[in-house]
Amino acid sequence: MESRPGRSIEVDFFRGIVLIVIVLDHIPGSALSHLTLHAYALCDSAEVFVFLGGYASAAAYEAVLSHRGVGAAQGRFFKRGWEIYRAYLLTAVLTLLSGALLAALHLNASAANLSGWAPFAAHPVRETLHILSLARQPYLSSVLPMYVIFALCIPAAVPFARRAPFAALTASLVIWALAPQLAALLRVSDLPDWSFNPFAWQLMFVFGILCRLHPMSADFKASATARWILRAALAAVAAFAAVKLLVLTQPLPGAMKQHLAFSRVVNFIGIAILAAYFVHRGTIARLAERLPAVVTVGRTGLVCFVGGTMISLFVDTATPRALHGAAGFAAALAGDAVAIGATLMLAKAWRGTLGRHKARAAVNGAGCR
C-alpha cells in the first residue's frame, strides 16, 4: 500500500490508531480501554492527536506552499479553520440530539446529563449563542474549538518555526508555562466545558510542527547520543507506567489535562522518542501496510472524529450494564468490536464517497474541454 505524495503513511497510521482509541476511551464500560495509553501513562491519546495534528498541518502547509504559493497556503488553512468549526457545530448538534433522545427514552442517564441537553432545553437561545461563540462546548466536541484556533495560526506559526526553530520553541514553552494565568486573564478557565486550555496545548501542536520542519538527521539517529536518549526514554516511560499502575491508581485532577501538566509533557516526550525509533526502523510502515483500514481512518480524521463520538455513545448505551464477571467482560469486548468495526466502515465509506466524487468531477471536467 503506497502513501499519497506528501503524506506519511506512519502519521496516517498513528492518527488512525489514536482515533480508534478515542472512540474506545469514550465508552465507559470498554474492555480494551484498560489497555490504551491512559491506563499506563500520565498522558493519553489527546497528546498524540494534537502532536500529529501539528505535524500533518506543517506538512500540508509546506506542500501547498511549494506548489501554489503563499496565498494558497494561507487560504487553505483559513478554509480548514472553517471546516473544523462546522465539524464542531455538527458534533454539538449530534450530541444535543442524542442527549434529548436518551432523556426522552430514559436511557443512559449519565450520557444524557453529559450531553448538555438539560440546560439547552431550559435556555435554548442563550445556550445556542454560547455554543456558536465556543463559550459552551457540548460533551465530546470540546477539542475541536482548540483546533480551529490552531488552524488559523498555521500561516504564521509554520514560517516562524521554519526560520527560527529555537525561538519558536522558546515562545511556545513560555506560553505553556504561563497558560493558567493567560487562561484566567482571558477567562478561558471560567468558560464551561473548555476542557483543553489552548495556551497550554499549543505546545504539543508546536512540537509536531518542529518535528516535521526540522527532523533529526540520519547520522544523529545512528549516533551513540541517540542510543543513550533512547535508553533514557525507555527508562522514563517504564517509570511513569509504574507510578500510574501502582501509585496514582485514582483518576488524576482534571486541571492536569486542561493545562497540560509538566508530567504529561515529559511522559509524552518519552513515548514519542520510542515511537520515532520504530518509525526509523521501518516497523511502523510495515505494520501500516498490513493494516490499510487503520490508515484509512487516519486519512479521514475529521469525519471519524465526529462519527466516532456517536459510535461511542451508541455502543455505551447498547451495552448491557447488568452483566458481571465473564458475561460482562464478553459484552464489553463485543461492544469494543462493534465500535472498532463501525469506525473502520465509516472511514472506508467516506473514502469511497470522495473517490466517486473526484471521478465524476474528472469526467465532467474532461467533458467541458
Q: State residue 178's pLDDT score.
A: 93
Q: State residue 4's pLDDT score.
A: 45
The string of DSSP codes covering 73-104 is: HHHHHHHHHHHHHHHHHHHHHHHHHHHHHHHH
Cα–Cα distance for residue pair 151/82, rounded to 1 Å: 9
The tens digit of pLDDT for each residue in 108-129 reads 888 888 888 999 999 999 999 9
DSSP state, residue 252: P
**pTM score, two decimals?**
0.90
| Residues making up the chain, counted from first to last | 369
DSSP state, residue 291: -
Among the listed residues 217, 218, 223, 183, the one whose alpha carbon sits nearest the alpha carbon of residue 199: 183
Share of the chain above pLDDT 90, in %: 68
**What's the mean pLDDT in 78-102?**
93
- At 187, is the pLDDT very low, low, confident or very high (cuts 50, 70, 90)? low
Among the listed residues 57, 271, 51, 260, the one whose alpha carbon sits nearest the alpha carbon of residue 175: 260
CA distances from 104 to 92, 109, 118 (A): 18, 10, 11
**What's the mean pLDDT in 336-358?**
89
- At 177, is the pLDDT very low, low, confident or very high (cuts 50, 70, 90)? very high
Cα–Cα distance for residue pair 298/9, rounded to 1 Å: 9
Mention every residue, 6+ apart, whose C-beta is less than 8 A from residue 80: 151, 154
Cα–Cα distance for residue pair 58/73, rounded to 1 Å: 10
Q: State residue 345's pLDDT score.
A: 96
CA geometry: angle 75, 79, 82, nearest 5 deg: 150
Cα–Cα distance for residue pair 2/24, rounded to 1 Å: 28
Q: Which residue has the higher pLDDT, 137 or 191?
A: 137
